[in-house]
Amino acid sequence: MSTGESGPQDAVPGDDLARLAAIAAASDAFSDAVPDMEALLAIVAEHIARATGDFCSVVLLSPDGKRIEPVAAYHPDPRVLKDAQALLGLPIELDAAGPWKTVVRERRSIVVKIDPDHLPANVA
């Protein structure tokens, strides 16, 4: 093979290959869960958390835009997961929703550093 040409093994770098494998696994799981929206959202949260090695939460916004309801959450640390799962299904006033207030009102993502031993009271 001459310089500049790439073979099949060179087509996808290692990190990208792992990312593609994670996306393929997630797609398979999503297609199996489509009839059950709660199961689908739980799978989405788990796959994102596993792919990033971090926390992922899915919340739904009320029709009036004043409340959010956490419907799915996942974190590799069972302590964080247990705390987050206790909040599933509990509506939260958006004004008291900590980082979600910023996400919803400003329509931007944010990163919250999580120390499982010192969780802020308003992290849902």
| Each residue's pLDDT tens digit, 58-98 | 888 898 989 999 999 999 999 989 998 998 999 999 999 88
Q: Residue 103 above 80 pLDDT?
A: yes
Q: Residue 39: pLDDT band by 50, 70, 90 thresholds? A: confident
114 inside domain = no
CA distances from 9 to 6, 53, 54, 106 (A): 8, 26, 29, 42
What is the domain count for the chain? 1
The range of the structural domain enclosing residue 89 comes to: 13-106
46 inside domain = yes
28 inside domain = yes
What's the mean per-residue pLDDT of the chain? Answer: 80
Res 88: pLDDT: 92
Query: Model pTM?
Result: 0.60
